[in-house]
A = this chain, B = another copy of it.
Amino acid sequence: MAKAGKPAYSIGVDYGTNSVRALLVDVSNGKELASHVYDYPTGQAGILLDERDPNLARQNPADYIKGFFSSVRAVVKEASKKRQFDPKDIIGIGVDTTGSTPLPVARDGTPLAMLPRFKNNLAAQAWLWKDHTAHAEAAAITETAIKAGAPYLAKCGGTYSSEWFWSKILHCQKSAPQVFRAAYSWVECADFIPAYITGNLDLRKMVRCVCAAGHKAMYNDAWGGLPDKRFLRKLSPELAQLRDRLYEKAVPADQLAGRLDAKIARKVGLPTGIAVAAGAFDAHTGAVGAGVKEGTLVKIIGTSTCDMMVAPGDRKLKDIPGVCGIVPGSIVPGMYGLEAGQSAVGDIFNWFVSHLSPAEFRDGDPHANLTKAAKKLGPGQSGLLALDWNNGNRTILVDPLLTGLLVGQTLHTTAAEIYRALIEATAFGALTIIKRLEEYGVSVREVINCGGIAEKNPFVMQTYADVCNRPMKISRSAQSCALGSAVFGAVVGGAYNSTRAAQNRMTAVKAQVYKPNRANAKVYAELYALYRRLHDAFGTEKYKGSLYAVMKDLIRIRDRARKA
């Protein structure tokens, strides 16, 4: 329990795809005193790209370190302007990052990318979550696990992803063997940051989080941690050898990673020794910061979407095909953490704005302009239907080798109509995930949204409400991920004795709820049936239906909607 009377604060540090944010909060009520964003300086919006390969996405680990110093120093400075605040009252720090974002490291824990000879080598950088170069290796891992009858895929939807730990390492071995050989081991970004700031880079002692291990590295206590060497050897003998240089145990984020290192504390204007929580993934702390509990689906809508739920840890849960992970303690310690998601949401809207939005929408904020125009249309009026697969499909198909699709364009189709169709496509993708969860007995009684798009675009939220035919709530904090990390900071700092207790005080939803419009929901039900037909035809091997009616049904729905 938070000690009444004495002020106490926690800092959540949230490493996103393009920037890192520090958030300084009052642990008694979640009030946000200061927030600061540091944009990664390297690459394109912080991402290293390769124009010959759209699947490649890497990051410079030095940006992470600079980002910690800049953002944390800034919030401490900002909060210090308030009379009641004293940096000495900061009791904990929590850290979340993207993932799976593994880094090859030297024997002393230094990222290879920070050594001069690997500075400019793309394979030596952090392999950002959305890097899909390892799709062949992911397929090989899935196939190998199925052939071997190994249990490892049971908790990650039955299909291993190109976005995940082992695929990336295996791809590095095949495509950049000199980097693979130079790497003593591999560390998830979520483990690297807490280790770095606590001065605990020793690979044998480094605290590893169960988010990364359980969801991305096939770690599970049921089979003794990471996959066994016999299995790994089938993929590559070198991978089996690497296992000895990885880890045996992973912990939830209410566990201590260490205490803030003196040198680092000085740099950011904090006292030495502050409790630092074990790392977690941004989506997981986001769920915590948005107030996830049994029956609540938290959707973190940003460049991509993460769909997070928890289920009681004492009941047996069916494995759910296509759901990225079911891992004990990965969100709220003591409960199962379930993770699903869409590989691109905001990224699709950004793609459209960057590459296809015409001049008349460019003045000011193109997203706002396009949204305004899209909002004037009714469901079905454009005659368009899109698949939200520009970055592959994470849930429920777990297939990076899928692409976007747009159907229904005429000679009169406008940019605003397409923009709306893309928003609707992401909503259909969201509904597909909800349906899959419920089919397998995880009922979704409440949806809380957070992330930039949920915050800023009421039209997107209304569309989600109409498409899913459910109310959409919004997390009170605009920074749910950072807030969730601050919740863990508060727990390891001793303010609360459980994550749930900390959530009860530190998190909430906004008063405004987006309620489904019945008439819109009816049209979207028809459109969803067509979406699902395209989804199954292009995304599954077994589909045998006809697509002949798709264009005709879209025209029929369009003509009816325009006459209404």
Q: Which residues of A contact B (CB under 8 A)?
A: 52-54, 344, 347-348, 350-351, 354-359, 362, 383, 389-391, 401-415, 418, 537-541, 543-544, 546-548, 550-552, 554-555, 559, 562-563
Q: A543-B546, A555-B401 are in contact. Are A409 and B390 (CB under 8 A)?
A: yes
Across the interface, do B408 and A407 meet the contact criterion of CB distance under 8 Å?
no
21 interchain pairs, CB-CB under 8 A: A52-B563, A54-B412, A347-B411, A355-B358, A356-B415, A356-B418, A390-B409, A390-B411, A391-B411, A404-B406, A404-B409, A404-B410, A404-B413, A405-B406, A405-B409, A406-B409, A537-B546, A537-B547, A537-B548, A541-B546, A543-B548
Q: A358-B357, A411-B348 are in contact. Are A52 and B562 (CB under 8 A)?
A: yes
Across the interface, do B401 and A551 meet the contact criterion of CB distance under 8 Å?
yes
Across the interface, do B551 and A403 meet the contact criterion of CB distance under 8 Å?
yes
| CA A358 to CA B362, docked complex, whole Å | 9
Closest chain-B Cβ to A352's Cβ sits at a distance in Å of 9
| CA A15 to CA B468, docked complex, whole Å | 51
| CA A405 to CA B554, docked complex, whole Å | 12
| CA A389 to CA B551, docked complex, whole Å | 10
Chain B residue numbers with a CB within 8 Å of A406 are 404-407, 409
Tell me the nearest residue of chain B to A387, going by C-beta. Answer: B407
| CA A404 to CA B406, docked complex, whole Å | 8
Closest chain-B Cβ to A223's Cβ sits at a distance in Å of 32
Chain B residue numbers with a CB within 8 Å of A344 are 411
| CA A357 to CA B357, docked complex, whole Å | 7
| CA A552 to CA B401, docked complex, whole Å | 6
Chain B residue numbers with a CB within 8 Å of A538 are 407, 547-548, 550-551
Closest chain-B Cβ to A344's Cβ sits at a distance in Å of 6
- Across the interface, A359 reaches (CB within 8 A) one of B359, B405, B415, B559, namely B359
| CA A539 to CA B547, docked complex, whole Å | 8
Chain B residue numbers with a CB within 8 Å of A391 are 410-411
Across the interface, do B541 and A548 meet the contact criterion of CB distance under 8 Å?
yes
Tell me the nearest residue of chain B to A407, going by C-beta. Answer: B405
Tell me the nearest residue of chain B to A57, going by C-beta. Answer: B411
Chain B residue numbers with a CB within 8 Å of A412 are 54, 351
Q: Top 7 nearest A-B pairs by Cβ distance?
A: A404-B409, A54-B412, A405-B407, A403-B408, A351-B411, A356-B356, A537-B547
Across the interface, do B390 and A410 meet the contact criterion of CB distance under 8 Å?
yes
| CA A540 to CA B357, docked complex, whole Å | 33
Chain B residue numbers with a CB within 8 Å of A390 are 409-411, 413
| CA A359 to CA B358, docked complex, whole Å | 6
Tell me the nearest residue of chain B to A343, going by C-beta. Answer: B411
Tell me the nearest residue of chain B to A418, going by C-beta. Answer: B356
- Across the interface, A355 reaches (CB within 8 A) one of B405, B413, B543, B552, namely B413
| CA A543 to CA B411, docked complex, whole Å | 26
Across the interface, do A351 and B413 meet the contact criterion of CB distance under 8 Å?
yes
Across the interface, do A407 and B404 meet the contact criterion of CB distance under 8 Å?
yes
Across the interface, do A404 and B408 meet the contact criterion of CB distance under 8 Å?
yes
Chain B residue numbers with a CB within 8 Å of A53 are 559, 562
Tell me the nearest residue of chain B to A554, going by C-beta. Answer: B403
Chain B residue numbers with a CB within 8 Å of A547 are 537-538, 543, 547
| CA A351 to CA B413, docked complex, whole Å | 8
